[in-house]
A and B are shown apart, each in its own frame.
Chain A
Amino acid sequence: METVGAIEAGSYGTAKLNYLNNGSTLKSWLLTKDHKRIAIMYLISVSAFFLMGGLYAAAIRLELLTPASDLFETGTYNKVFTQHGILMVFFFLIPSIPAVLGNFLIPIMIGAKDLALPRINLLSLYIYWIGGAITLWALMQGGVDTGWTFYTPYSTTFSNTYVLAVGVGIFINGFSSILTGVNFLVTIHTMRAPGMTWFRLPLFVWSHYAVSLIFVLGTPVVAITLLLVAIERVAHVGIFDPALGGDPILFQHMFWFYSHPAVYIMVLPGMGIVSELLANFARKRIFGYEFVAFSSIGIAVFGFLVWGHHMFVSGQSMYASLVFSFLTMVVAIPSAIKMFNWTATLYQGSISFDTPMLYGLAFMGLFLIGGFTGLYLGALGLDVHLTDTYFVIGHFHYVMVGGQVIAYLGGLHYWWPKMTGKMYSEFWGRVAAMLIFVGFNLTFFPQLILGYLGMPRRYAAYPPEFQVLNIFSTAGASVLGVGLTMPLFYFLHSLVKGKPAPDNPWLLPGLEWRTSSPPPTENFDTPPVVTWEIYDFGDESGLDLEAAKREAATINA
């Protein structure tokens, strides 16, 4: 314990050798095996994809400002929403938290030098780049208009766009997810520091364990599905197109078998971050640690059994729908358990409201709506009315943006000082968080109402009575856009002009705060031995609280 006890709040680590200044050539980055450098390269890449996906979103909201299809031709609009979905889902949402924050933090959080398979980690990044490059090439050639769901037989027989190239890009990209998943599973099983038992793992690590299971078990299925689409398109083998003897519903089963669990890929890591934020900024052990940990595993397992709830009106058997609706209701329970435990964690805490915590609390509010609207869609009779309307769009943006993106931003702010060794502007951080919260709700709540009114999704033009709510939505999107752009500026600014970050800016007990900011290439100067329980904010954790309090007092004086 004494090996890691030296963590006074005031020690600054930037002067010494760390993973950032340990080699500055391009080669030292491109051939690195350091999980932290790979995470930074992922950060830059997913941010670029997020920016592109965001521009498409802006184009969608501009088109929908008026009922007529006047900004774009309908064919262009169809490509815009398709490409928004593809870039955001496959190249931002799925890799973002695991490949950036998970990659950076899991080895440090469990007290390891690196991931178990560092070369595989670098390979996964290159696969992601290749998949992304092929997809971007296809978009520049003319793009794709099938919707991100690639429903057959439209995608296999009718669409005259670059379905094949985009499919290949996503197919290749899938292997990046699989490799990341395998790497995390092996690492969490084999690389934990002495004393780091399973129930001392931060919940961030537990949620990544659950996500990795889905990566490994689910991703191959979507790869197979896209391969079958390609075979049908190229060789006209009848698989999904009834004109060739295939079955279009089969595609939906295969696609959602992956893509529903993929929703949990997107939100589970966010839940892990929120667990960290709420516990650490309330300085309280998470309430019901085991329940929060196992509810992640429960979500990962049950998440594989609910895909048919996307198909209640597709012509699948009514009795199959009955089973899928039942299981959908069951999978809501672990999420409810998490919500209750997070709330209870704040009870009798000592809560501070730094920027990351604002994101944590925003997540709670938005995920409540995202989760509950999922229940509306899982209720059979209601889904018949709501499916394929803007209610679905509102619902999954509440989960994906309100849940995943908000948590990702919270995590990025929380660990930014650790990752870069610099502090960002707290003031601008809070302003951006609040703009995002307001803008987000103004964008997507009207869409829930539009959905109940019956406005179908993927419409370039719509009846005029839906316009007012669409104007609200576009106005909200403008606010949201400003809010989401701000971190780009103050984060970049912090790299140049930011104050050096202390090793442990909030005096927290996690292992990531017991190494320098930014960490050395080996993560720790001496390999840590864990003797304290998780989320222990008292003296037993080895934190020098008295020194920190004295220092805080002198700063205030």
Chain B
Amino acid sequence: MQDSSFVQLFPQQASTFAWQVDALFGYLILVSLVFSVPIILALFYFSIRYREREKYAVPKEIHGSMVLETLWSIIPFFVSMSVFVTGAIVYFNQYTPPDDSMEIYVVGKQWMWKLQHSTGQREINELHVPAGRNIKLTMTTEDVLHSFYIPAFRTKADTVPGRYTYVWFNATTPGKYHLFCAEYCGLNHSGMIGTVYVMDPKDFDNWLSGNAGGETPVQVGKDLFENKLGCASCHAGGPQQRGAKLEGLFNTEVHLVGGGTAVADEDYIRNSILNPASQVVEGYQPIMPTFKGQVSEEQLNGLVAYIKSLSPNAAAAPAAPAAKKPDEKAPAGKKADEKEPAAK
């Protein structure tokens, strides 16, 4: 980014779908010109040609024209539909992460971005990613709304407290790019900015090994699960198990007490930890205590990552409800965990 020219008039294109957004923008500029130029020309022409020549003249009365009204209702309708359809196609590309994405966890907080790679590296207001790989960000926030925005990648999504949202991209060009918070979040909103470093895959691997250390989210989750929070005492399996079986759970459909079903996605797991009584699975008693206030967002990410890692084959998920579809297509098992070292 950081263009050195005097006035920058067009943003850099640095993700695989950036050109699609720009093409849509170009198409809309074309549409605007095709409609506006004739109107402006007509305004000027009529203003000159039909300017007042005699005070209080009585020009011929014209009531209208059904043909014209029909034409200028129908043509804009079809044009706007073309904008709608192309816009929707680009939108689904922007918000449908490919299955083989490398996962990164993002937590927004007044006023910083905290990011963690699935290999454990933590960053604040900086994000290092390899060029040419699909990257999926699973995001939430500790406090108010924020919005994760990288203009050069033409993508953005709000982070919402209490749930997960997602952004994905495939960066094309190594370089430095702005990361902005785009949703007003209070006092230092304009200071909640950062830099995305897109690196050659080899440089990125060097960076990863140079910054090794820290547990991976799965390790954090496993530790919490087995030791710190004692989840395993009920959920570890065995004949006396009082809690639901978690192996193979992720992205499957569960039947809830009181009827109804839910798909066990990231938001479901998160909610089951924080508000267990709100969605008790059939065949179990509502005895699980809430862990609200006892786990941080990062620890929650770890628990979710660990529970996902217990379902290595969950990529073939059942048809998910409409709204969540793109999210649930995501690879479920913590593949990134195994893949990352292999990539070295």
A residues lining the B interface (CB < 8 Å):
69, 74-75, 78, 145, 147, 151, 153-154, 157-159, 241-243, 245, 247-249, 282-285, 287-291, 312-315, 317-322, 325-326, 329-330, 332-333, 336-337, 339-341, 343-344, 346-353, 361, 364-365, 368-369, 372, 375-376, 378-385, 387-389, 449, 452-454, 456-463, 465, 468-469, 507, 536-539, 543, 545, 548-549, 552
Residues of chain B within 8 A of A321, CB atoms compared: 91
CB distance from B270 to the nearest CB of A (A): 11
State whether B2 touches A365 (Cβ < 8 A).
Answer: no
Residues of chain A within 8 A of B178, CB atoms compared: 454, 463
Complex Cα–Cα for A326 and B36 (A): 22
Hey, what's the 0/1 contact readout for B153-179 against A, CB within 8 Å counting as 1?
A: 011111011110100000000000010
Complex Cα–Cα for A353 and B9 (A): 36
State whether A459 touches B24 (Cβ < 8 A).
Answer: no
CB distance from A415 to the nearest CB of B (A): 20
Complex Cα–Cα for A344 and B59 (A): 14
State whether A538 touches B52 (Cβ < 8 A).
Answer: no
Residues of chain A within 8 A of B76, CB atoms compared: 332-333, 336-337
Complex Cα–Cα for A382 and B17 (A): 11
CB distance from B285 to the nearest CB of A (A): 22
CB distance from A244 to the nearest CB of B (A): 10
* A–B Cβ pairs within 8 angstroms, 23 of them: A74-B188, A158-B110, A159-B186, A284-B59, A313-B158, A314-B158, A314-B160, A318-B322, A318-B323, A329-B83, A337-B72, A340-B39, A343-B43, A344-B62, A346-B42, A348-B62, A349-B59, A350-B53, A369-B36, A372-B28, A381-B20, A382-B28, A461-B190
CB distance from A306 to the nearest CB of B (A): 12
CB distance from B195 to the nearest CB of A (A): 11
State whether B160 touches A351 (Cβ < 8 A).
Answer: no
User: Given A372-B35, A384-B156, A385-B155, do A350 and B46 touch, yes or no (CB 8 Å)?
Assistant: no
Residues of chain B within 8 A of A319, CB atoms compared: 322-323
B287 at the interface (CB under 8 A from A): no
User: Given A242-B161, A379-B87, do A289 and B54 touch, yes or no (CB 8 Å)?
Assistant: no
Residues of chain B within 8 A of A313, CB atoms compared: 147, 156-158
Residues of chain B within 8 A of A346, CB atoms compared: 42-43, 46-47, 50
B342 at the interface (CB under 8 A from A): no
Complex Cα–Cα for A388 and B95 (A): 18
State whether B156 touches A249 (Cβ < 8 A).
Answer: no
Residues of chain B within 8 A of A315, CB atoms compared: 157-158, 160, 163, 165
User: Given A147-B184, A325-B84, A349-B46, do A333 and B77 touch, yes or no (CB 8 Å)?
Assistant: yes
Complex Cα–Cα for A243 and B162 (A): 7
User: Given A319-B322, A382-B87, do A288 and B69 touch, yes or no (CB 8 Å)?
Assistant: yes
CB distance from A64 to the nearest CB of B (A): 11
CB distance from B161 to the nearest CB of A (A): 5
Besides A74-B191, A314-B158, 7 more A-B contacts (Cβ < 8 Å) are A145-B187, A284-B61, A348-B59, A368-B35, A378-B83, A380-B84, A384-B95
User: Across the A-B interface, how many residue pairs have beta carbons closer than 8 Å?
Assistant: 309
Complex Cα–Cα for A159 and B143 (A): 12
Complex Cα–Cα for A363 and B55 (A): 25
State whether B160 touches A312 (Cβ < 8 A).
Answer: no
Contact of A381 among B8, B59, B69, B94 (CB under 8 A): B94
* Chain A, Cβ-Cβ closest to B182: A388
| A-B CB proximity, top 8 nearest | A381-B90, A454-B151, A242-B162, A379-B87, A317-B323, A380-B91, A288-B64, A459-B190
State whether A347 touches B50 (Cβ < 8 A).
Answer: yes
State whether A384 touches B64 (Cβ < 8 A).
Answer: no
For A157, A387, A454, the residue with the greatest tally of chain B CB atoms inside 10 Å of its CB is A454
CB distance from B196 to the nearest CB of A (A): 12
Interface size range of chain B in the complex: 35 or more
For A159, A289, A385, the residue with the greatest tally of chain B CB atoms inside 10 Å of its CB is A385
Complex Cα–Cα for A333 and B80 (A): 8
State whether B69 touches A291 (Cβ < 8 A).
Answer: yes
CB distance from B253 to the nearest CB of A (A): 18
* Chain B, Cβ-Cβ closest to A350: B57
CB distance from A324 to the nearest CB of B (A): 11
B126 at the interface (CB under 8 A from A): no
Residues of chain A within 8 A of B46, CB atoms compared: 343, 346-347, 349, 351
CB distance from A249 to the nearest CB of B (A): 7
Contact of B186 among A145, A340, A381 (CB under 8 A): A145
B343 at the interface (CB under 8 A from A): no
B86 at the interface (CB under 8 A from A): yes
Residues of chain B within 8 A of A320, CB atoms compared: 323
Complex Cα–Cα for A429 and B224 (A): 73
CB distance from B166 to the nearest CB of A (A): 9
Complex Cα–Cα for A318 and B328 (A): 13
State whether B187 touches A75 (Cβ < 8 A).
Answer: yes
Contact of B184 among A283, A340, A376, A458 (CB under 8 A): A458
* Chain A, Cβ-Cβ closest to B44: A361
State whether A459 touches B43 (Cβ < 8 A).
Answer: no
Hey, what's the 0/1 contact readout for B117-159 against A, CB within 8 Å counting as 1?
A: 0000000000000000000000000011101010110111110
Residues facing A in B2-51 (CB within 8 A) are 2-3, 6-11, 20-21, 24-25, 28, 31-32, 35-36, 39-40, 42-43, 46-47, 50-51
* Chain B, Cβ-Cβ closest to A317: B323
State whether A458 touches B83 (Cβ < 8 A).
Answer: no
User: Given A151-B184, A379-B86, do A387 and B156 touch, yes or no (CB 8 Å)?
Assistant: yes
Residues of chain A within 8 A of B186, CB atoms compared: 78, 145, 154, 158-159
User: Given A326-B84, A381-B87, A381-B88, do A318 and B95 touch, yes or no (CB 8 Å)?
Assistant: yes
Complex Cα–Cα for A281 and B274 (A): 66
For A289, A344, A462, the residue with the greatest tally of chain B CB atoms inside 10 Å of its CB is A344
Residues of chain A within 8 A of B21, CB atoms compared: 381-382, 384-385
Complex Cα–Cα for A36 and B120 (A): 71
State whether B32 touches A372 (Cβ < 8 A).
Answer: yes
Complex Cα–Cα for A337 and B60 (A): 22
For B72, B110, B147, the residue with the greatest tally of chain A CB atoms inside 10 Å of its CB is B72
For A157, A290, A329, the residue with the greatest tally of chain B CB atoms inside 10 Å of its CB is A329
* Chain A, Cβ-Cβ closest to B82: A329
Complex Cα–Cα for A153 and B142 (A): 11
Residues of chain A within 8 A of B161, CB atoms compared: 153, 241-243, 248
State whether B68 touches A340 (Cβ < 8 A).
Answer: yes
User: Given A154-B184, A287-B64, A344-B68, do A384 and B84 touch, yes or no (CB 8 Å)?
Assistant: no
B294 at the interface (CB under 8 A from A): no
Complex Cα–Cα for A290 and B145 (A): 45
Complex Cα–Cα for A460 and B68 (A): 48
CB distance from A294 to the nearest CB of B (A): 11
Residues facing A in B283-322 (CB within 8 A) are 322
Residues of chain A within 8 A of B68, CB atoms compared: 288, 340, 344
B181 at the interface (CB under 8 A from A): yes
Residues of chain A within 8 A of B35, CB atoms compared: 336, 368, 372
User: Given A313-B158, A385-B155, do A289 and B24 touch, yes or no (CB 8 Å)?
Assistant: no
Residues of chain B within 8 A of A154, CB atoms compared: 144-145, 184-186
CB distance from A274 to the nearest CB of B (A): 12
Residues of chain B within 8 A of A549, CB atoms compared: 54-56
Complex Cα–Cα for A247 and B189 (A): 22
User: Given A352-B52, A454-B11, do A545 and B58 touch, yes or no (CB 8 Å)?
Assistant: yes
B234 at the interface (CB under 8 A from A): no
State whether B43 touches A379 (Cβ < 8 A).
Answer: no
* Chain B, Cβ-Cβ closest to A311: B158
* Chain B, Cβ-Cβ closest to A346: B46
Residues of chain A within 8 A of B326, CB atoms compared: 318
* Chain A, Cβ-Cβ closest to B21: A385
CB distance from A528 to the nearest CB of B (A): 21
Complex Cα–Cα for A387 and B69 (A): 33
B228 at the interface (CB under 8 A from A): no
CB distance from B98 to the nearest CB of A (A): 16
